[in-house]
Structure 1
Amino acid sequence: MGPDRVAIYVDADACPVKDEVYRVAARYGLHVFVVANSVLNVPREPWIERVIVGDRLDEADDWIAERVDRSAIVVTADVPLASRCVKAGATVLSPAGKPFSDASIGMALATRNLMQDLREAGMVTGGPKPFSAKDRSAFLGALDQAVRRVKRNLDSPKPAPPPR
């Protein structure tokens, strides 16, 4: 995708909101990349591109992170991938609609690492709470808002470089 064309990248293997992404993308005429390690069924639309990567650890993450910029919206629950994409200038949302940002990514990484350490020590046995209709609704609103914000930012004039 060109730097001035909004696209949505979905870290798809365990994403519960792919149908919501398709609905919002159809409304705005956006291209969607559905990136996974295995074959997933996606609607047969010219604007939905299924990308199957190898099964190497983090291969889907690498594919996404290497292609995003300020024109991209990334949907992922993977905090390290979210961090890489935020650093590249992309807008990043969790499937529950929670935005990742420069301000929040450090805490999200620290929490993820702490929980991983606790699980490895056998102290945490429960997983994440079940995905709810409220999460789905929050995601839809957050994605719609993110699309409008990214489009507005791309349409606004670029700031002039500072004088030398």
Structure 2
Amino acid sequence: MKIYVDADACPVKDIVISEGRKLGIPVILVTSFSHFSTAEQPSGVETIYVDSGADAADYRIMKLAVNGDMIITQDYGLASLGLAKGVIVIHHKGFMYSNENIDQLLQTRYLSAMARKSGKRTKGPKPFTEEDREEFRRLFKQVISSKL
């Protein structure tokens, strides 16, 4: 198992790295060159830089991920592709994407995009809270321990 993180705007990278390292699971952070850093990553953590173009990180993650791996993302499109490949996909707010919920999530995203396109204002995501962080940590640890 490897853990791929759609890392550009992921607020739980530290949790993923910490828990992954404890269990010796490789963590791969996929991020755009616009977030380039010379900071050294701990052992077991790799950073892959991609172009800043739309979906470049998603394409790279999908090229690398295989059945049984894990992806951490807030991108419903990437989640859908990952599920189709047999990958475990978790949102940073602490819920798992599944074949049962992905269609509804994609439909909601589509309807919001159509509303914005027609000039309507839509609500953005709620702020990321400490409760979200702890819910992610709980679910992440639970899922990882069940797969080992």
Per the normalisation by structure 1, the TM-score is: 0.83
Take 2:30 and 2:42, find their aligned partners in 1: how far apart are those partners? 15
Equivalent positions of 1:46-61 (< 5 A) are 46-61=43-58
1:33 to 28, 52, 55: 28
User: Displacement of 1:125 after TM fit?
Assistant: 4.2
Contact 1:73-1:146 at 8 Å conserved across structures? no
User: Displacement of 1:119 after TM fit?
Assistant: 2.0
**1:15 and 2:47 aligned:** no
**Is there any run of 5+ residues in structure 2 with no aligned partner, and where?**
none
- Determine which structure has more spread, i.e. the larger CA radius of gyration: 1
Contact 1:72-1:91 at 8 Å conserved across structures? yes
Aligned to 2:105: 108
Indicate how the Cα distance of structure 1 residues 19 and 55 shifts in structure 2: closer, same or farther if over 3 A, else same. same
Contact 1:11-1:61 at 8 Å conserved across structures? yes
Indicate how the Cα distance of structure 1 residues 140 and 121 shifts in structure 2: closer, same or farther if over 3 A, else same. same
Indicate how the Cα distance of structure 1 residues 71 and 43 shifts in structure 2: closer, same or farther if over 3 A, else same. farther
Cα deviation, 1:68-121, whole Å, max 9, x if unaligned, reads 122211000000000000100000000001100111111111111111112222
User: Displacement of 1:57 after TM fit?
Assistant: 1.8
Count, aligned residues: 146
The runs of 4+ residues in structure 1 deviating greater than 6 Å are none
RMSD: 1.5
Cα deviation, 1:6-30, whole Å, max 9, x if unaligned, reads 1110000011111111111122111
1:117 to 114, 118, 123: 114
Take 1:86 and 1:42, find their aligned partners in 2: how far apart are those partners? 32
User: Displacement of 1:52 after TM fit?
Assistant: 0.1
State the secondary structure of the residue aligned to 2:4: strand
**Is there any run of 5+ residues in structure 1 with no aligned partner, and where?**
1-5, 152-164
Give % identity: 33
Aligned to 1:161: none
User: Displacement of 1:126 after TM fit?
Assistant: 3.1
**1:95 and 2:92 aligned:** yes
User: Displacement of 1:124 after TM fit?
Assistant: 2.2
